[in-house]
Structures are given as structure tokens and as C-alpha cells.
A and B are shown apart, each in its own frame.
Chain A
């Protein structure tokens, strides 16, 4: 099955956010995972010296997945904001995602978990440098 069709089959709901709207707020609770269908979104982190932008995502990018893959830390690690116009997203069926994730062997889970831990650590290091150099 092509990726597009496969992803379509996982979307429980679609939503559109206006430019500048906050889709996910750092520190809040939530376990929805989003797929960008159209538009762009900025990944921001709160620091001692205000918000810093870490990444810009576009069509086909997934966000909110860290909560799913790194179990036991149910808080959102970054703020996601619609950028450069409206953002059209698909909200993925999280029950199905969790069920699928549970079929993985402990080794594969460990592999994916390490990926998200490293992502988190890289993000924190980037923030630290940005704060220092301001």
C-alpha cells in the first residue's frame, strides 16, 4: 500500500488551523499524533529567554509522536504553531497506533525509544546554546 493511502487509513479526523494557531502546547498533556496534510508548522521551545524555533515541518511530517513512542512521559515536549498560512492536519487514530506499537519486539521498541531520547537531548542542547548566545 502506498504511504499516502496507508496514512489516510489511519486518520481519525481532519482539522484546519489558521496561521499562527497553536496546535500543541509544550508541557500540556495529550496523546494525539498529527500528520501534516497541507501547510507548514513551526516547532518551538520555551526557554529562559523566550521562545526559540527549532524546526519547520511540511507536508508528510508527523508531530506529537514523541509522547507515543517514549512511554511514561505524557507531556508534550514542544509547542507546534501553524506557520505561513493555514495548516491542514490529520489526527491519527492513537488507539490503533498504540496497538500497532505493542506488536513490536522489545528490541525494536528499544531502538525507537533511543531515537526519541536522542531527539529530546539534541533539542535540549540546541536550546541551551541558543539561550547562552543571546
Chain B
């Protein structure tokens, strides 16, 4: 930030570089900024999530909510420069006087508009957070039970796997019989049962090619073992413990209904 204050100048102008923070949520301050050049984003921060509330352009004003609400002097949202931005700082005390002398009916209307904006922002934050949480759950593969079944696909894929911590050459093989965002059902080759004893709680690196030719790579833990599906071939119910972003993406495309 370059402070452009000129001595005794009636208007103060401040310059910000793209992505500079102009106002920080929770900070104290009642100054109002008019955007002279550039563009800013008003956003709310809740639990590490950034929720965009509004984008304001040249000629528009930020910081007005704190000024108008008068209840608190804490900033209700953050403001960041989306481009190199120049703002004009308005003197809140002078504006305060003007506000007091504003025709009461207009003041009443402005107060009502402010209250509604506060309500709408709350609703927006609520909806946005809910939507993001749903998206994350979907990506993590922990959606509603019904959805999980919906997304599980029957497959028959050749799979190479090895216990976590072993050398990459310790190749065991099997066939993935079903796959979801959450995990796989793996049928172990008889030969592999001789090389390694498969127990509940064991963690493996798995690698397979989806029918669309995309490779997926993940870590999964054995949650259940069934021995009655086909003789000599234990069936492992496995839950993903770690999937790469690429694997998630490929799996996402493949599992899309």
C-alpha cells in the first residue's frame, strides 16, 4: 500500500495493489472509502471460508455499513482490491453531521435498507456455507447414505496393490468389483493371499485403470473381509484414507450418474 496523503489536502487518497486488503473484518474503523479507480471484493470470512458478498466498481462506496449501523465500530466484512485500486477517504465525522441532518424520512428508509442488507448477507452466508459443505462432502465421499449407494458402481478392474510402507515392487494383485467415492470392494487373487495375510485394519496403496483408461491411485484401509463370495478369493471392503486430487477428479467423472 502506498500512502498518498498530501499535507493539508482536504481529501485523502490511498492506493492499493491488486489483492491488497483494504478493510479487515473485525477491525475497528468507521472511515468510508469511495472507489476512484479499480474494483474491490467485499467478503466475509467464516471458518477459513471466504464468502463473496459483493463486487464494487469505480464510483461506489465501501465501509458504509459500519458507518450507518452505528451499533458497532467493528467492520462486518473484509474488502480486498481485485485490481490496482485507488480510494478516496471520506471524513466520517463530517458525514455524521450530514447524516444527522438528513430528512428523517430518508434516514428511516436508509436504516430499513441497511437492516434488510444485514438480513440478506446473513442468509447469503448461511446458504453459501451450506452449499460449500455439501460440495465438500460430495468430494470427500461422505454424502448421505442414499447418495452413497447411488454413486457406487459395479466394475471389474485389474488392480495392483501393496501394503503401506512396503517397497513399490511388492506387487499384489486383485480385481476391484465395486467403486464409490468412499472406497472399493477388492477381490484378492489366490496367489496374493499366499504372499500376504490380509487383516482388518491393514492399509494398502492401490492402483487401477478405470474403464475410461484413466489411472487412479489411492490409499485405502480394510474395513471388512468376506470369504464366502468366491472360494479362495477373499473380498475386502476398503475405505479410502487418502486419494490424490487427480484420482478424485477421475473418479468423479467416472462416477457421475
Residues of A that sit less than 8 Å from B by CB? 1, 3, 6-7, 10, 33, 54-55, 60-62, 65-66, 68-69, 92, 96-97, 100-101, 103-105, 107-108, 110-119, 121-123, 125-126, 129-130, 132-133
Contact = CB atoms under 8 A, between A and B. Distances in A.
Given A6-B105, A100-B103, A110-B61, A119 B128 contact: no
A1 B49 CA distance: 45
B90 interface: yes
A97 B90 CA distance: 26
Given A96-B105, A115-B64, A122-B53, 16 more contacts: A10-B105, A54-B120, A62-B112, A65-B109, A68-B109, A69-B110, A97-B105, A101-B103, A101-B106, A105-B98, A111-B67, A115-B110, A117-B54, A118-B56, A119-B113, A122-B123
8 contacts: A69-B109, A97-B106, A104-B102, A111-B32, A119-B113, A125-B52, A125-B53, A129-B128
A115 B67 CA distance: 11
Interface residues of B, number: 42
A106 to B, nearest CB: 10
Contact of A7 (B60, B67, B105, B124): B105
Contact of A118 (B42, B104, B106, B119): B42
B127 A129 contact: yes
Interface string B83-125: 0000000100001001100111110111011101101110110
Interface of B: 32, 34, 42, 52-56, 59-62, 64-65, 67-68, 90, 95, 98-99, 102-106, 108-110, 112-114, 116-117, 119-121, 123-124, 127-128, 131, 134
B18 to A, nearest CB: 21
Q: Which secondary structure dominates where chain A touches chain B?
A: helix
Contacts of B34: 107, 110
